[in-house]
Amino acid sequence: MSLIKTEKLTTRSYDKDLKESVKSKNKKIARTRRQRGYNWEDTLVKRFNSLNNWEAFRLGSPSVALPDILAVSSKESTIYTIEAKSGTSTTLRVPYDQILRCLKWTKTFDLYEKRKMIIAFKFLSKKRIGTGQYEHRELREYYKMWDESYEVTDFVCTYEGQTYAISDGQRKSLFLEECKMPFTSKK
């Protein structure tokens, strides 16, 4: 009788350890993913701030209804709200609510002649091919301007720089113009 109880306890203990191990691994992966995003945002802010007549700011955590970055040039009467995406996969997705919050901020600052909502994509030089497995590829950056005539929807940018909308689980054509940034980018 005690042997059966011991065996059940051991199995439960093993299951609990396995769940905790998976949970810990998932937390580490999520932390790494967030860190990549923060680093990309920080890089963009530094690029803007290294220019004369530009000031850029990271606006906070994703739980706040703010764009990732606000970049302003009073001399050029220009404001950019920027959503930054970075990753190791072949596609990067932008949820519609992130587009909406950037557009809201862009419309708020009507004192600026040029107001643009930009999505900055960075495809890292390593491509994920499996859990913890990567292969080398060329680092690529894209800066896409959101066209306000489009219906706001989730959309995806590919490693090749093509964009398409996701609506009701279907891919739809979506052309977003490349934005010429005031700094030198890696392409």
pTM for this one? 0.79
**More confident position, 116 or 34:** 116
* Radius of gyration for the chain, computed over Cα atoms and rounded to the nearest angstrom: 21
Average per-residue pLDDT in the chain? 85
Residue 57 has pLDDT above 80, yes or no: yes
The CATH code belonging to domain 2-173 is 3.40.1350.10
Q: Give mean pLDDT, residues 93-109.
A: 94
Closest of 87, 53, 46, 52 to residue 69, by C-alpha: 46
Residue 92 has pLDDT above 60, yes or no: yes
Residue 51 has pLDDT above 60, yes or no: yes
C-alpha to C-alpha distance for 43 and 40, rounded to whole angstroms: 5
The reported pLDDT for the residue numbered 64 is: 73
**More confident position, 167 or 187:** 167
C-alpha to C-alpha distance for 45 and 57, rounded to whole angstroms: 6
Residue 29 has pLDDT above 60, yes or no: no
**More confident position, 14 or 148:** 148
Residue 74 has pLDDT above 80, yes or no: yes
The reported pLDDT for the residue numbered 127 is: 84
The reported pLDDT for the residue numbered 93 is: 96
For 84, the 3-state DSSP assignment is strand
Q: Domain-by-domain residue ranges, the chain?
A: 2-173
Report whether 82 contacts 67 (CB < 8 A): yes
Q: Give mean pLDDT, residues 22-47.
A: 71
